Structure 1
Amino acid sequence: MKKKNNLRFLFATVSLFFFVSCEDILEEDISGDFVNTIFPKEGDTVEGNTVQFLWNSLEGAESYTLQVYSNTSLVLDTTVTTSNYEGTFTSSLYEWRIKAENNGYETQYTFPESFEVITSLDLTNQSVILTNPSEGLYTNNASIIYAWEALVAAETYTFELLKTETSGTTLVYLEEGLTTTSLSLDATVMDQDAAYSWRVKAVNATSETSFSSRNLYLDTVDPSTPSLVSPLFEEEFLLSDNIAFSWNFPNDTGAVNSTITSYYEIASDESFTNVIESGNSVATNFDYTFSSIGTYYWRVRGEDDAGNIGAYNSNGKLIVNE
């Protein structure tokens, strides 16, 4: 019997070694390679505020990490899977470097190359940098201040707000000739729960940028009251039991379905003045072990990413025995 156990252990060890070795073999060792940069090269000047970083693809690489510095301060640190990246920068001197990576190896960073971004009166290849609201914002407040960064060569800005529904996309607000870099719209403009996108372009007498856009979602519907699944009402347990609590929310019938976070409480009294456990979870379950016997109550409510808060369910009840 002991001999069989030794053989099993040996087989498991060999299998694990073979698996790990195969994983290493599948990934090409690129640690001795370097990424060949194309643009910008050392001393290049870029007119406008948009820089297109280019480099040659490296065989065996799965992604690339790009870093940009200004006066030794890191202003960009991003990872991409393509051999190019477009970014927007203010007028200044910069340095950039890049490295390649796969699941097992990575190259060294390239030697930093400096370049300069300078102002251009031609807006064609420039971009408006949007600042507020953030991309993909979920909100229950339809009164929003939209903001973006100024472009030196811009004389005016054009703002558009579009609404997307199952029937299609419609323009709900347009303002041209803006001379400021912000715009406040009240709740009469975004008057329905829906997916929206807002976009801005810069204009001067001879040229204009393309639109820069972001998405946002208006959701004013509170999450539904959850249904408790387990434990059952007045279900009994032993003090040593690790009890699984679970619940679910009815299907959201609103126009926008924000992610719901559950907030739960366990109390030793029905009015929840003595809460012994509380927490929040995107998952609709958690486990808990009680430290003393007694009758306990629990409840759950939902709060979505837009800030809507639902009601607590009718209290659950359970009994913990010795």
Structure 2
Amino acid sequence: MERAIPFRRLIISLLFVLTGCKEFIEPSIQDRKVNLLAPAANTESIQYAQSFWWEPVEDALKYRLQVVSPNFTNTARLILDTLITPNRFNFTLDPGNYEWRVRAENGSSQTAYTTSNFIIYASSIKDQQVQLQVPANNSVTASGSQTFSWLKLYGAEQYHLEIDTNNFADEKVLFFDKTTPNLEYNVPLTRDKIYQWRVKALNDTAESKWSAIQNVTFDSTPPAQVTLTTPATGVAATSPVTLRWDAAATAARYQLVIYKSDQTTPYSSIFPVSLTTTSYTFTGVLGEKVYWQVRAIDAIGNVGAYSELRNFTVQ
């Protein structure tokens, strides 16, 4: 039993080393395989909107998705060649024969491609659904000028865009309602709200189903003005000096500026400095008088007003 304890410790140490090494040495994925899920091989469909889906590969960071027509042996058209992080990608295609393939990648290796094929047959647009592009669902923006865009739908001549702030409860009272032949439309957002948007395609004889409804939040409200706490203005402070301020409710980060005694020239090239904390340690020249102020910035870039301008003398 006395000899078993060191042996257990050796095993535990080896496991720790092997586990820890994985964090620093990226595993090779070249011998792994991507398993495609949908569309399955030889699928025949009348749906123009397709969702490409495959099983995640362990230690993969991204996936290379390619779609061609009619196949990779005799390629007439390259439809898609994109590098993405998730293991699913939505796209709208015209009727035709297609092959698609995926490989997994990380920083140092990649798998072989896995390939599959499918066919899309022509159908009335009333059986179809428009796929929305941007803004992404549940995104937040500080820009009052928002471009809404969607993918082309085969057979469509125009697109009907609706935007609302009440979940389309009353289609007679919408925030925005427009028909356009284009695949995007720029709309000014006027109030801080959650906006719902959807699109359907039209031609002379039919109209498609409405797209899925997506949300975008417009937030133009900046964080509150920052309140400085220490040091008090006009004091002599021992170097290094810890500058502190109160947290602002919606702040994601803070911008601190320290000025020379003229109150306008940054103390050094590092200022203004961006911080996620509510304090900063400053080392200055003894006897020098400096000024400082802070402002808050939220997660989407709204910038609050600067705090009061305080000063102290380094001692």
1:313 equivalenced with 2:314 (yes/no): no
1:134-153 correspondence to structure 2 within 5 Å: 136-139=139-142, 141=144, 144-153=146-155
Contact 1:225 1:249 in 2 (8 A): no
SS at match of 1:68: strand
- Residue 290 of structure 1: which of 283, 287, 300 is its match? 283
Which amino acid in structure 2 is aligned with residue 194 of structure 1?
Answer: K
Q: Give me the whole-angstrom Cα distance separating, in 1, the residues matched to 2:314 and 2:216.
A: 47
The alignment's C-alpha RMSD in Å is: 4.5
1:85-96 correspondence to structure 2 within 5 Å: 85-91=88-94, 95-96=100-101
Shift in alpha-carbon separation, 1:193–1:229, aligned structure 2, 3 A: same
Q: Alpha-carbon deviations, 1:83-111, whole Å to 9, x = none?
A: xx34104448653124499xxxx983344
User: How far off is 1:157 after superposition?
Assistant: 2.5
Q: Alpha-carbon deviations, 1:25-55, whole Å to 9, x = none?
A: 9xxx987553433444677676554223345
Count of residues paired in the alignment:
285
Shift in alpha-carbon separation, 1:156–1:74, aligned structure 2, 3 A: closer
Shift in alpha-carbon separation, 1:146–1:51, aligned structure 2, 3 A: closer
Which amino acid in structure 1 is aligned with residue 91 of structure 2?
Answer: T
> For structure 1, which runs of at least 5 residues remain unmatched after alignment?
1-10, 253-258
User: How far off is 1:288 after superposition?
Assistant: 4.4
The TM-score normalised by the length of structure 1 is 0.65
Q: Give me the whole-angstrom Cα distance separating, in 1, the residues matched to 2:9 and 2:274.
A: 38
User: How far off is 1:125 after superposition?
Assistant: 4.3
The TM-score normalised by the length of structure 2 is 0.66
1:281 equivalenced with 2:278 (yes/no): no
* Larger strand proportion of the pair: 1
Which amino acid in structure 2 is aligned with residue 202 of structure 1?
Answer: A
1:264 equivalenced with 2:266 (yes/no): no
Contact 1:226 1:313 in 2 (8 A): yes
SS at match of 2:14: helix
SS at match of 1:158: strand
Which amino acid in structure 2 is aligned with residue 79 of structure 1?
Answer: T
Give the match for residue 193 of structure 1: 192
1:131-210 correspondence to structure 2 within 5 Å: 131=134, 136-139=139-142, 141=144, 144-163=146-165, 173=174, 178-181=179-182, 182-186=184-188, 190=190, 192-204=191-203, 205-206=205-206, 208-210=208-210
> For structure 2, which runs of at least 5 residues remain unmatched after alignment?
1-7, 23-27, 69-76
Give the match for residue 224 of structure 1: 224
SS at match of 2:285: coil
User: How far off is 1:313 after superposition?
Assistant: 1.1
Shift in alpha-carbon separation, 1:122–1:63, aligned structure 2, 3 A: farther
Shift in alpha-carbon separation, 1:304–1:107, aligned structure 2, 3 A: closer
Q: Give me the whole-angstrom Cα distance separating, in 2, the residues matched to 1:173 and 1:211.
A: 17
Give the match for residue 128 of structure 1: 131
1:215 equivalenced with 2:225 (yes/no): no
Identity percentage of aligned residues: 18
- Residue 97 of structure 1: which of 87, 94, 102 is its match? 102
215-224 or 130-139, larger mean C-alpha shift: 130-139
Q: Give me the whole-angstrom Cα distance separating, in 2, the residues matched to 1:219 and 1:178.
A: 26
